[in-house]
Amino acid sequence: MPAFTRDGVDIYYEVRGTGPPVMLVAGLAADNAFWAPSFDALAARHRVILIDNRGSGRTAPLDAATGIGAMADDCMALAAHLALAKVTLVGHSMGGMIALDCAIRYPEAVDCLVLVSTAPRASARDNELFATWSALFTAVDRPLWFRNLFFWVLSPALLGNGTSLDALVELAAGYSYQQSPVALANQVKAIAGFDARNQLSSIRARTLVLHGTLDLVFAIAGAAAFARSIPHATFEPVEGAAHSFPVEVPQEFTRRLLAWLAK
């Protein structure tokens, strides 16, 4: 299993395909498997780099201290480890915050920036929501925890299909690389400590902001304003899509991403 060590943490990663490098950064409580529905389509045209953030997947120890800045440093250290002078960063939710921090602090290393279902800061309401998810992680059984999470991040169309929802809950609850309660709490604290609003105008990377119109976590109105604050940013709303639309509608996600990268 490929990994490199930074700051006492073994960072797990995978590389697939050939072409211009694209690093995919997952969000809260997720690891590189979040991007599995998009692997093949992206790797057909790009060298796809997958990273497990601190506190997720096969990066160890799971309970290592973290912050958005530390996870951004891990991404840039991985790019250097792979001898990449520049890389396109694609981040979902918390992963978008990580990608945003990379673009702000490592402008010379970020070629393009794709921000999916994210924000430059979590509101007080968002932070309460994430803290509640963290508290429930040890208070209820894992299938029930994922079922509750999915009602926040998946679309009404999928949630109305009981068979599909049950299958997703079973898949998530039985996943081999479960996050620990401490790891989830550390990521929640990392989000609460991040605020990039005052640095958005400094971003020089060509930027795409993708956001579902039915996102219950970060409202689309905020995403549109967020995109206007970034120079050279393109904002694309995804009609009828929820927070985790790269998982639900991967063909639409990859179609938009590849078309924009090819411009």
Q: Is the pLDDT of residue 1 over 90?
A: no
Q: Which residue from 97, 90, 130 is spatially nearest to 113, judged by alpha carbons?
A: 90
The Cα 187–Cα 67 span in angstroms is: 7
Q: What is the sign of the dihedral through the CA atoms of 86, 69, 131 and 52? A: positive
The pTM score is: 0.98
Structure confidence at residue 132 as a pLDDT band (50, 70, 90): very high
**Does residue 61 have a cis bond before it (omega within 30 degrees)?**
yes
Which domain covers residue 241, as residue numbers? 3-262
* Residue 24 near residue 88 (C-beta atoms within 8 A): no
Q: Which residue from 141, 111, 71 is spatially nearest to 208, judged by alpha carbons?
A: 111
Give me the mean pLDDT over the 183-203 stretch.
98
Q: How many CB atoms lie within 10 A of CB 214?
A: 17
Question: Cα torsion for 11, 137, 101, 112, to the nearest 10°?
Answer: 80
Q: Looking at residue 79, what is its pLDDT?
A: 98
Question: What's the total number of domains in the chain?
Answer: 1
* Residue 178 near residue 87 (C-beta atoms within 8 A): no
CATH code of residue 64: 3.40.50.1820
